[in-house]
Amino acid sequence: MIRFILHRPRNAQNIGSAARALANTGAGALWVVEGEQYDRAQAARLAAGADAVLERMVIVRSLEEALAPCVDAVYTTGRLVEGLPCLNPRETARRLLASAGELADRSGGQDVNVNSHSHLQRAAAPGAGESDRASTAEREVALVFGDEVRGLSNAQLEKASAIATIPTVEKASLNLAQSVLIFAYELMLARGNGRAGQETGKPSNREKQRAAHALARAQRGPEPIADSARAPDAAAADPALEMLNFQGNITNPNDPAGLGAGGLGDERLQSVLREKARALLLARGFLNPQRPDFILDELLRVLRRGRPSRRELELWIGAFTQLGR
């Protein structure tokens, strides 16, 4: 499932136009981080019949909440960020589909190398079973859009694993809904969907189920990261370790990186790692207390570029936790 996340949009009409773009292309689900004002009537007017997308739209309070279960997120911007791969809309579509497992499904279980940045993709483990590929297809990924005036902040872009930019000639900025449509269109093409003059009608039962599941999960809030399987005394020292597994057990010997059962690490785990690293490096005097995030984000960018697995992130979190005692 691909989430189109609008971060604090200022104009409800752009939400409606974005909903229409997603109805046109079937590219993904609409998520909105609370904007200044949301006028349902204004949005519906520009949605032009895409009411089903608006009804399934999920509104959350923070970008972190919207990204929590996502294993990959591409942030859109008109600016370049040093050290981050910059993708065009076509490359973005292929990357997100590969991360979500859709391209892997169509290539017999092997992820597709979507562009020259070979580190952006992981190949499926040899011998991965049908159950592994089935779980891969359910991975959540996201495409993040900033507001209509300032876009995404530099601080937000520093935390991205990749950015995407729409090539232009004279003016770099585009209307929010136009940007959504361009990326959604490329996703539709990459999937091989769409036909001139064709309307697919109402969403399928499968699409309804997935949308309902996403909405229910957003309402429930964060779930435990993992079951505990470590020594009892560690829990007393740090309750956060109850979420992690440090016994070195591999559920599937054909999938030592955890990409089948555990999968790629999601944004929730990235956030836990960031807080653990921040606390330790501040305590050790490595980070400048006045501007700790400047160097911290540069350090963690290495991990984000490598797109670590869930297990790899859990091991990093465990290492920082032990060192911080």
Q: Does residue 110 register a pLDDT over 50?
A: no
Residues in CB range of 42: below 8 A, 6 or more apart: 12, 13, 16
In a domain, 225, yes or no: no
Same domain, 151 and 205: yes
Give per-residue burial for 169-190: e unless 16+ CB within 10 Å, then b: eeeeeeebbebbbbbbbbbbeb
Q: Does residue 181 register a pLDDT over 70?
A: yes
Residue 101 or residue 181, greater confidence: 181
Same domain, 74 and 131: yes
Same domain, 215 and 280: no
**Mean predicted confidence (pLDDT) in 203-227:** 55
**Mean predicted confidence (pLDDT) in 158-176:** 88
Q: Judge whether 63 and 33 are in contact, CB under 8 Å.
A: yes
In a domain, 22, yes or no: yes
Residue 292 or residue 93, greater confidence: 93
In a domain, 226, yes or no: no
Q: Does residue 241 register a pLDDT over 70?
A: no
Same domain, 254 and 169: no
Which pLDDT does position 246 carry in this prediction? 39
**Mean predicted confidence (pLDDT) in 99-118:** 52
- pLDDT tens figures, 262-273: 566 777 777 788
Same domain, 87 and 53: yes
Same domain, 191 and 44: yes
Residue 219 or residue 227, greater confidence: 219
Which pLDDT does position 211 carry in this prediction? 58
Same domain, 212 and 251: no
Same domain, 186 and 280: no
Which pLDDT does position 28 carry in this prediction? 95
**Mean predicted confidence (pLDDT) in 116-132:** 38
Same domain, 293 and 185: no
Which pLDDT does position 60 carry in this prediction? 94
Same domain, 98 and 6: yes
**Domain end residue (candidates: 189, 220, 251):** 220
Which pLDDT does position 255 carry in this prediction? 43
Q: Which of 56-70, 84-98, 208-222, 234-248 has the lowest mean pLDDT?
A: 234-248
Which pLDDT does position 75 carry in this prediction? 95
Which CATH number fits the domain that encloses residue 22?
A: 3.40.1280.10
**Mean predicted confidence (pLDDT) in 284-308:** 82
Confidence at 215, pLDDT banded by 50, 70, 90: low
Q: Model pTM greater than 0.95?
A: no
In a domain, 227, yes or no: no
**Domain end residue (candidates: 169, 196, 220):** 220
Q: Judge whether 6 and 146 are in contact, CB under 8 Å.
A: no
Residue linked to tokens 């996703």: 187
Q: Does residue 34 register a pLDDT over 70?
A: yes
**Domain end residue (candidates: 153, 187, 220):** 220
SS3 (DSSP) at 52: helix
Q: Does residue 98 register a pLDDT over 70?
A: yes
Distance of alpha carbon 137 from the chain centroid: 14
Its domain, for residue 254, covers 232-323
Same domain, 215 and 117: yes
In a domain, 255, yes or no: yes
Rg of the chain on CA atoms, in Å: 20
Q: Which of 4-13, 84-93, 151-160, 192-201 has the lowest mean pLDDT?
A: 192-201
In a domain, 292, yes or no: yes
Same domain, 103 and 252: no
Q: Give the number of domains in the chain.
A: 2
